[in-house]
Amino acid sequence: MRMTSCYIIDDEEASISLLSKFITKTPDLNLVGSSLNPLEALQKFQNSSIQVDITFLDINMPEISGLELANLIGKSTHIIFTTAHTQYGLEAFDRDAIDYIAKPFSYERFLKAVSRYHKHWHNAQQQSPKKEHFFFIKNDTKGKLTRIVIDEIIRIESMANYIMIHTTSGKHITYLTLTEAEDYLAPYGFVRIHKSSVVNPKHIKGVDGNQVKLIDGSTIIAGVSYRKLLTEEIAKNLLVSKRRN
């Protein structure tokens, strides 16, 4: 589950308290901070001391209004205005606000605003070109290199002083240790599940006990000392009910 970071800027403690409560009870939201002083918040954004997906921003505040502040921080965060004054709606959306919530508002209205942010984020992800990550390996032919696309790797198998890289388009052998491959691919989510196997969780078809079934038809028995790592990686994408049985 992707966590969405949130920040609150409002000169009323009661408003911050309510928004904090709503954010805390929403599973995919993470409150990273709040400020009663808009100028203090501006300094944090300008110093890049915080990175925020959504900023809940009041409009009527002393020293600087939320509309003015949005002009200064809007490029580094997505704004959801929260205000008791409804006459600023057009100005708010002129600043590319995700939403404009009139106080007082319910948890349902809060969730609707957050949902608009998620739709905006997903649309932006689909429209932006995806960067293809790859690397080159040496093979048996001197001077020849083979390009390996990381997302296409299904699993990597240890073969003494060599490894065999199984991809969606074929198999490739190169002079590397499994540990070297594991260290390089760990940032991409690859996990070691056996002393001689590293797998790409994106290509796991299913798990049955200690048997890991992959899309290429292979089945790997997860080693006892590696099962915790496998469980933790799968848990990142595990959909379960929060209801009690």
**Tens of pLDDT along 75-108?**
889 999 998 877 766 677 777 889 888 889 999 9
Q: What is the rounded CA–CA span in Å between residue 210 and residue 226? A: 10
Q: Which residue has the higher pLDDT, 210 or 139?
A: 210
Q: Report residue 27: phi and psi, to 5°.
A: -55, -35
Q: What is the rounded CA–CA span in Å between residue 217 and residue 136? A: 26
Cβ-contact 148, 169 below 8 angstroms: no
Mean pLDDT of 223-241: 83
Q: What is the rounded CA–CA span in Å between residue 209 and residue 100? A: 49
Is residue 227 within a helix (H) or strand (E), and if so which, with residue range?
A: helix 227-235
For residue 244, pLDDT beyond 70: no
**Model confidence at 18, in pLDDT bands (50, 70, 90)?**
very high
Helix axes 38-46, 66-73, angle to 10 degrees: 0
Could you tell me the domains of the chain? 4-127 (3.40.50.2300), 134-235 (2.40.50.1020)
The neighbour count for residue 79, using CB atoms within 10 Å, is 24
Half-sphere exposure of 239 (CA within 13 A, CB side): 1
Q: For the segment 165-203, what is each residue's pLDDT rounded down to a tens digit?
A: 999 999 999 999 999 999 999 888 899 999 999 999 999
Q: What is the rounded CA–CA span in Å between residue 16 and residue 33? A: 10
| Sequence-separated (6 or more) residues with CB below 8 Å from residue 197 | 155, 156, 157, 158, 178, 220
For residue 1, pLDDT beyond 70: no
pLDDT value of position 160: 87
Q: What percent of the chain has pLDDT over 70?
A: 95
For residue 127, pLDDT beyond 80: no
Give the predicted TM-score (pTM) of the model. Answer: 0.53
Helix residue spans in 25-65 (DSSP H): 38-46
For residue 245, pLDDT beyond 60: no
pLDDT value of position 95: 74
Cβ-contact 220, 197 below 8 angstroms: yes
Assign 6 to helix, strand or coil.
Answer: strand
